């Protein structure tokens, strides 16, 4: 690790990279929150909530309707 820290000390403005990483993570997190709480995703989540109970990709409740 000593070699890596010595190498990073030679880079100008190396303290800028953690700020960029934090900004990218924060924007990604906000984007994911926006995507999850959009009203247009209600149909998608309704469809996905029954996938865990499906057998062989067939939803038993959709079979009964047919």
Instruction: Give pLDDT, residue 66.
Output: 47
CA dihedral 46, 57, 32, 14 (to 10 degrees): 170
pLDDT under 50: residue ranges of the chain: 66
Instruction: Give pLDDT, residue 22.
Output: 92
Domain that holds residue 50: 2-65
Predicted TM-score (pTM) of this structure: 0.50
Query: Per the structure, how many domains does the chain have?
Result: 1
CB 31 within 8 A of CB 37: no
């Amino acid at each position: 690790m000593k070699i890596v820290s010595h190498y990073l000390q030679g880079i100008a403005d190396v303290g800028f990279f953690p700020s960029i990483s934090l900004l990218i993570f924060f924007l990604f997190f906000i984007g994911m929150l926006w995507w999850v709480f959009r009203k247009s995703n209600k149909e998608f989540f309704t469809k996905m909530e029954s996938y865990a109970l499906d057998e062989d990709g067939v939803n038993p409740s959709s079979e009964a309707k047919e």
